[in-house]
């Protein structure tokens, strides 16, 4: 593509003949190649408004000549075509830039396109191809030289697929966050509602105490008031742990089970080996096991054992807490997970507590994408199952 450069008077005459043509600026550090480009562009009916031999010169000249398209050499000393293109597009986003290079380096092609080039043409391309690229850039389109197109398309296709996978992952993550946020909101609303009941009971006792003159009755009310206040304090502590269920770390559930069991010699822990480390809130996990074990101890005959068995299921970890109690009637098996629920009437209650242990254990487990269920129950005992989802 060795063509002679038209003299400047001819260049000026061409501008006068077609003032509304495509305005092109040429940037290349090779003077001989610039002359060939100028000749090609003028012969093709384009208006050449300026030429620069470096990136820095191009940045200054573009403000003066206001081109529609810049033919940009990629390899230049100092500021190369990639950086020059990036700066030009930052100040004039509508400017069309056609990259010119003697190489088919895919990384360079990609970097020029990312910088904002409208097209990429090899320097040894046919003249018509270069003219087409300029016209396409002026119209907002782009052209890739056939020498680089197949590989660039392959890379862009791969990049697009990666981006689609990333988008799907982000959408799934966003959906999970929205669901977890909804659960936490529901939990806070529910806990706020449930706290009113024990507070109302304490307030009623206090008002009764204020109007009672009998010492024996006052002492009884005072003892009950202190007991209910202690239960309420423990309840608030449980709520705090449950609300923090979203703060996760790596947890060894088998070790957590052994720590909980260490507080009572009646509790035996049986684990499979090996077991995976799970991602949960450590404090909440400890509390769930404490609630399940405490419930088992309360409703088992004195001295009878409680078993905690940790095993791996399909895509989940399973923690079973088995007591030796008298069992739970089928009609009551879901009600026991209700807040402030106990199966014994208040006036004949043997097992003390606020009636929130199982409700909080289930709520906390669900906040961490798991669950707590009553797996089985009979006159020989009951088994509660804590399901822990394993990450894929």
> Is the omega angle on the peptide bond into residue 274 within 30 degrees of 0, that is, cis?
yes
Mean per-residue pLDDT for 251-264? 94
Whether the pLDDT of residue 387 is over 70: the answer is: yes
In this prediction, residue 294 has a pLDDT band, given cuts at 50, 70 and 90, of very high
345 or 174, greater pLDDT: 174
Q: Determine the CATH number of domain 8-147.
A: 3.40.50.2300
Tally of CB atoms within 10 A around 3: 14
Three-state secondary structure call for residue 316: strand
pLDDT at 346: 33
For residue range 155-203, list pLDDT tens digits in order: 666 766 777 777 777 777 777 767 766 766 666 666 666 676 677 778 8
Q: Note the pLDDT of residue 138.
A: 87
Per-range mean pLDDT, top range of 76-80, 209-213, 228-232? 76-80
Most confident of 14-23, 69-78, 176-185: 69-78
- DSSP letter at 390 equals P
Residue 112's closest CA among 69, 161, 73, 59? 73
Per-residue confidence (pLDDT) for residue 378, from 0 to 100: 94
Confidence category of residue 129, pLDDT binned at 50, 70, 90: confident
User: Which range has the worst mean pLDDT, 17-31, 180-194, 246-260?
Assistant: 180-194
Q: For residue 353, is pLDDT > 50?
A: no
- Give the bridge partners for 371, in sequence order: 387
Which one, of 137, 138, 70, 139, lies nearest residue 100 by Cα? 70
Alpha-carbon gap, residue 186 to 194, rounded angstroms = 12
Mean pLDDT of the residues in the chain: 79
pLDDT reading at 343 higher than 50: no
Domain 167-389 has CATH 3.30.565.10: yes
Over pLDDT 90: what percentage of the chain? Answer: 31
Least confident span in 36-45, 128-137, 191-200, 377-386: 191-200
Determine the pLDDT at residue 340. Answer: 44
Please, what's the b/e burial string for 106-143 (b: 16 or more CB within 10 A of its CB; e: otherwise)? eebbbbbbebbbbbbbbbebebebbbbbbbbbbeeebb
Report how far apart, in Å, the C-alpha atoms of 112 and of each of 84, 242, 353 are: 10, 52, 70
Lowest-pLDDT choice from 1-10, 109-118, 150-159, 296-305 = 1-10
Question: Helices (DSSP H) in the chain: which residue ranges?
Answer: 8-17, 31-43, 55-65, 81-91, 106-115, 127-138, 149-210, 215-243, 253-261, 282-298, 357-367
Q: Where are the domains of the chain?
A: 8-147, 167-389
Chain centroid offset of residue 374 CA = 33
CA distances from 195 to 183, 192, 240, 343, 362 (A): 18, 5, 13, 20, 17
Q: Is the pLDDT reported for residue 237 higher than 80?
A: no
């Amino acid at each position: 593509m060795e063509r002679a450069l038209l003299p400047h008077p001819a260049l000026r005459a061409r501008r006068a003949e077609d003032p509304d043509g495509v305005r092109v600026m040429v940037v290349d550090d090779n003077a001989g190649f610039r002359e060939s480009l100028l000749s090609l562009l003028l012969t093709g009916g384009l208006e050449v408004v300026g030429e620069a031999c470096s990136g820095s010169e191009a940045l200054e000249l573009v403000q003066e000549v206001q081109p529609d398209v810049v033919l940009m050499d990629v390899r230049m000393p100092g500021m190369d075509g990639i950086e020059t293109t990036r700066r030009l597009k930052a100040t004039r986003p509508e400017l069309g830039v056609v990259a010119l290079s003697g190489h088919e380096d895919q990384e360079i092609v990609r970097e020029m396109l990312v910088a904002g080039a409208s097209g990429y043409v090899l320097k040894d391309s046919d003249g018509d191809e270069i003219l087409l690229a300029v016209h396409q850039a002026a119209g907002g389109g782009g052209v890739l030289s056939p020498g680089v197109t197949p590989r660039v398309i392959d890379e862009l296709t791969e990049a697009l697929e990666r981006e689609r996978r990333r988008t799907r992952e982000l959408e799934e993550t966003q959906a999970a966050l929205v669901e977890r946020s909804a659960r936490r909101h529901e939990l806070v609303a529910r806990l706020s509602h449930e706290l009113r009941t024990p507070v109302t009971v304490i307030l009623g006792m206090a008002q009764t105490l204020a109007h009672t003159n009998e010492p024996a009755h006052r002492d009884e009310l005072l003892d009950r008031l202190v007991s209910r206040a202690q239960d309420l304090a423990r309840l608030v502590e449980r709520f705090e742990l449950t609300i923090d269920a979203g703060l996760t770390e790596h947890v060894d559930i088998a070790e957590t089970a052994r720590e909980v069991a260490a507080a009572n010699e009646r509790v035996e822990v049986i684990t499979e080996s090996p077991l995976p480390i799970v991602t949960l809130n450590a404090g909440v996990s400890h509390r769930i096991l404490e609630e399940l074990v405490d419930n088992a101890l309360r409703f088992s005959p004195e001295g009878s054992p409680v078993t905690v068995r940790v095993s791996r299921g399909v895509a989940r970890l399973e923690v079973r807490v088995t007591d030796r109690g008298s069992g739970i009637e089928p009609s009551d098996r879901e009600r026991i997970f209700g807040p402030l629920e106990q199966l014994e009437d208040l006036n004949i209650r043997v097992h003390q507590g606020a009636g929130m242990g199982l409700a909080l254990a289930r709520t906390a487990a669900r906040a961490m994408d798991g669950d707590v269920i009553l797996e089985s129950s009979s006159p020989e005992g009951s088994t509660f199952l804590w399901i822990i989802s394993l990450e894929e």
